[in-house]
């Protein structure tokens, strides 16, 4: 009888993060009371369900993944995380997909993969007359409720599942995968306000007979999201709590058009998030006003339209700052990072 291999005893050495060190130095103690697990290094795409040698080899490559050392910076350790769901038979998880359908009105469209956020009405006017003249969907004005807003659909984006109320119940509602609350994390240096849909606002819904929109949220519905304070995991970031509209776009019955007229989610949708942002004080100054130093420090100033938008339209120059907004679903953990360019007319 051979001995059991007990070499798997797991003892890990931990390192304090910057936050931990700061707490220790302040004399308050770190008071650890909970833990979470991460898998940032793992590429689950390496899981080979068709490995010819059998199931023992499915995760061979994953298990050989080299793991990085711990770092003290708080946002370089667990950017995602392991999740707990009681149901073991979950096969699909919702994900965010950018919705740029313009027939519902107000769904912003990125330009050159960036959402352009005009810092003031003067800039917005220049963009309306210039680069976005033919596509006002690309123009988002900071804090406005009458221009387009960043819109993401959350749902099961798989053509394997029909898009109807039955599958929504089966794959989302009945197994606890409904997301009603979201976290929006913005860089507080540049953005100081998040606007989102209210929890009791109109749902995103089509008429299943005519396949026309029965109700839909628009930027006019946006309200200020509640701020939760400084981000725990990102330096300079601030977290906001946002709600969303129910996503009830389903395949119509016998209509000549399909649900894809309104929805970019192939399977059942869960919710629809719409966002706009307020910019930090000073960044909104007009071209005749004082240029905020943040444009110089963190962005670029006096750029031509070609340099700012990739297209040489108009003779104006612009200042801009690029930032990233992080959106995550509180129940299912679905996440998306949204690239935003804050743009201000400089001349």
Partner 1 sequence: MAVKNYESIDSTNDITNTRTLLHEAIPLTGTIVSGTYGTFRSERNIKNYTHGQFQSVYDYPFLSSSANHIFDITLGYDESSPFSGSTSVQNSKKINMYNQFAQVLLGYTSSNSDGIRKFENDLTLDGNGYMKEVFFVSFSRLLVKDQIKKGTFSMTFQTGAFTTPSQITLSDRSASVNGDGTLNTDGGDYGVLYDSNILTSNNKGLGAIFYQAGIAVITASVFASGSIAKAANRHAPVDFNPAEPGYPRRSMTGSLTGSTISSSCDAFRRRLVNLSFNNTTEINSKIYFCRVPHNKFNYSSNPTYVSSSKIVVKNQSTDNPVSYITTVGLYNDSNQLVAVAKLSEPLKKDPTNDITLRVRLDY
- Applying the rule CB under 8 A, the residues between 301 and 330 that interact with partner 1 are 326, 328, 330
Instruction: Find the binding residues for partner 1 in span 140-179 (CB under 8 A).
Output: 155-160
Q: Strand 335-345 relative to strand 115-118: parallel, antiparallel, unpaired?
A: parallel
Give, for 308, the enclosing helix (H) or strand (E): helix 305-309
Quick one: which segment of 92-100, 127-135, 192-200, 312-320 binds partner 1 (CB under 8 A)?
Answer: 92-100
Regarding 233 and contact with partner 1 (CB under 8 A), the answer is yes
Contact, 193 vs 224, CB < 8 A?
yes
Smallest distance, Å, CB 171 to partner 1? 9
Q: Strand 213-215 relative to strand 204-206: parallel, antiparallel, unpaired?
A: antiparallel
Q: Record the tokens describing residue 126, joined without a space.
A: 């220049």
CA dihedral 39, 43, 114, 287 (to 10 degrees): 40
Among 20, 105, 198, 282, contact with partner 1 (rule: CB under 8 A): 20
Quick one: which segment of 55-63, 192-200, 211-219, 300-308 binds partner 1 (CB under 8 A)?
Answer: 55-63
Among 234, 341, 344, 345, contact with partner 1 (rule: CB under 8 A): 234
Rounded Cα distance, 101 and 123, in Å: 24
Q: Record the tokens describing residue 241, joined without a space.
A: 């709590």
Of 261, 173, 174, 255, nearest to 213 by C-alpha is 261
Regarding 57 and contact with partner 1 (CB under 8 A), the answer is no
Of 347, 344, 283, 288, nearest to 317 by C-alpha is 347
Other residues' Cβ atoms within 10 Å of the Cβ of residue 273: 26
DSSP state of 289: S
Instruction: Find the binding residues for partner 1 in span 239-278 (CB under 8 A).
Output: 239, 266-267
Contact, 157 vs 171, CB < 8 A?
no
Q: Find tokens 């942002």 and name the residue.
A: 277
Quick one: which segment of 29-37, 110-118, 273-281, 312-320 binds partner 1 (CB under 8 A)?
Answer: 29-37
Contact, 139 vs 148, CB < 8 A?
yes
Between 55 and 315, name the residue whose CB sits nearer to partner 1: 55
Instruction: Find the binding residues for partner 1 in span 99-138 (CB under 8 A).
Output: none
Among 167, 231, 246, 323, contact with partner 1 (rule: CB under 8 A): 231
Instruction: Find the binding residues for partner 1 in span 63-82 (CB under 8 A).
Output: 63-72, 74, 77-82
Regarding 53 and contact with partner 1 (CB under 8 A), the answer is no
Among 40, 135, 174, 312, contact with partner 1 (rule: CB under 8 A): 40
Instruction: Find the binding residues for partner 1 in span 181-220 (CB under 8 A).
Output: 183, 185
Regarding 288 and contact with partner 1 (CB under 8 A), the answer is no
Quick one: which segment of 119-127, 225-233, 248-256, 281-289 binds partner 1 (CB under 8 A)?
Answer: 225-233
């Amino acid at each position: 009888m051979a001995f059991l291999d007990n070499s798997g005893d797991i003892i890990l050495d931990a390192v304090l993060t910057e936050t931990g060190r700061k707490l220790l130095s302040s004399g308050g103690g770190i008071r650890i009371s909970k833990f979470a697990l991460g898998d940032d290094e793992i590429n689950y795409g390496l899981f080979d369900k068709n490995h010819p040698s059998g199931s023992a080899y499915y995760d061979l490559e994953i298990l050989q993944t080299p793991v990085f050392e711990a770092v003290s910076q708080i946002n370089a350790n667990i950017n995602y995380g392991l999740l707990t769901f009681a149901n073991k038979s979950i096969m699909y998880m919702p994900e965010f997909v950018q919705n740029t359908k313009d027939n519902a009105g107000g769904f912003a469209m990125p330009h050159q993969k960036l959402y352009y956020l005009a810092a003031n009405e003067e800039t917005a006017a220049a963009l309306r007359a210039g680069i976005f003249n033919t596509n006002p969907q690309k123009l988002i004005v900071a804090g406005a409720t009458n221009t387009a807003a960043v819109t993401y659909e959350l749902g099961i984006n798989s053509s394997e599942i029909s898009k109807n109320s039955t599958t929504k119940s089966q794959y989302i509602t009945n197994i606890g995968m409904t997301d009603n609350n979201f976290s929006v994390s913005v860089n507080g240096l540049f953005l100081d306000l998040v606007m989102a849909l209210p929890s009791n606002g109109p749902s995103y819904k089509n008429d299943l007979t005519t396949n026309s929109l029965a109700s839909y949220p628009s930027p006019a519905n946006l309200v200020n999201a509640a701020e939760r304070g400084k981000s725990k995991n990102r330096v300079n970031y601030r977290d906001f709590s946002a709600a969303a509209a129910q996503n009830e776009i389903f395949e119509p019955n016998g209509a000549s058009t399909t649900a894809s007229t309104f929805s970019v989610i192939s399977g059942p949708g869960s919710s629809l998030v719409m966002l706009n942002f307020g910019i930090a004080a000073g960044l909104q100054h007009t071209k005749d006003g004082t240029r905020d130093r943040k444009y110089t420090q963190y962005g670029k100033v006096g750029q031509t339209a070609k340099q700012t938008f990739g297209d040489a339209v108009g003779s104006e120059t612009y200042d801009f700052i690029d930032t990233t907004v992080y959106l995550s679903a509180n129940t299912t953990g679905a996440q998306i990072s949204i690239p935003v360019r804050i743009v201000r007319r400089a001349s």
